Chain A
Amino acid sequence: MHLAMISCTPRNVKMSNTAKIIESFKTGFEKGGNTTEAHYLSQKNKWGNIRDAFNGNEHILFAIPLFFECVPGIMLEFLETLEPKEYPDGMAKTKIGFILQGGLAEASQLRCGEQYLERLPGYLNCQYSGTLIKGNMSMVSMLGDKSGEKLVAPFMDMGEYYAEHGAFSKERVSDFAKPEYFSKGFILLYKLLNPMQRLFISLLTKKRGRTDSLKAKPYQKYLV
Chain B
Amino acid sequence: MVVSSMRKSIGANGGSVLKYIIINTLLENNIESRGAISDLSRSIAISDVIYTEGMKIHGCIGCNGCWMKTPGVCRIKDDYEQILIKILQSDRIIFITEAKFGFVSWKMKNLIDRLLPIGVIYSEFKNGRTRHCARYKKCADMGLLFTGDGDAVYLSAWMKQISLNLCAKSFGVFEISDGKELCDAFSHD
Q: Hey, which bits of chain A sit against chain B, CB under 8 A?
A: 9-12, 15-16, 42, 65, 67-77, 79-80, 104-106, 108-109, 112, 115-116, 119-120, 123-124, 138, 181-182, 187, 190-191, 194, 198, 201, 205, 208-220, 222-223
| Complex contacts, A73 vs chain B, CB 8 Å | 59-60, 106-107, 109-110, 112-113
Give the contacting residue for A76; candidates B103, B129, B154; CB below 8 A. Answer: B103
| Shortest 6 CB-CB contacts between residues of A and residues of B | A76-B106, A73-B110, A77-B106, A11-B62, A73-B109, A73-B59
Does B51 interact with chain A (Cβ within 8 Å)? no
Q: Is the CB of A69 within 8 A of B69?
A: no
Q: Which residue in chain B gives the minimum CB-CB distance to A186? A: B125
7 A-B residue contacts at CB 8 Å?
A73-B112, A76-B104, A80-B101, A112-B161, A119-B101, A217-B135, A218-B72
Q: Tell me whether A104 and B135 are in contact (CB under 8 A).
A: no
Asked if A116 contacts B109 (CB within 8 A), the reply is no
Complex-state Cα separation, A65 to B100, whole angstroms: 20
Task: Compute how far the CA of A8 lies from the CA of B106 in the bound complex, rounded to whole angstroms.
Answer: 13
Q: A70-B109, A77-B110 are in contact. List 6 more A-B contacts (CB 8 A).
A: A68-B165, A70-B103, A80-B100, A194-B124, A210-B70, A212-B72
Which residues of B in the span 105-158 have a Cβ within 8 Å of any Cβ on A?
Answer: 105-107, 109-110, 112-113, 115, 120-125, 128-133, 135-136, 149, 151, 154, 157-158
* B47 CB to nearest chain A CB (Å): 14
Number of contacts between A and B (CB, 8 Å)?
157
Chain A positions within 8 Å of B102 at CB level:
116, 119-120, 123
CB distance from B113 to the nearest CB of A (A): 5
Interface residues on B, range: 35 or more
For B86, the closest partner residue in chain A by CB is A222
In the complex formed, the residue of A with least CB distance to B157 is: A112
B6 proximity list for chain A (CB < 8 A): none
**Contact across chains for B161 and A69 when beta carbons are under 8 A apart:** yes
Residue of A nearest to B109 (CB): A73
Q: A79-B101, A80-B105, A222-B89 given as contacts; is B68 within 8 A of A205 (CB)?
A: yes
B107 contacts which chain A residues (CB < 8 A)?
Answer: 73
| Assembly CA distance A122 to B120 (angstroms) | 36
Q: Decide: A120 and B106 in contact? CB cutoff 8 A.
A: no
Q: Which of B61, B62, B128, B162 is the most central at the interface, judged by chain A CB atoms within 10 Å of its CB?
A: B62
Provide the bound-state CA to CA distance between A109 and B70, in Å. Answer: 26
Residues of B within 8 A of A198 (CB): 122
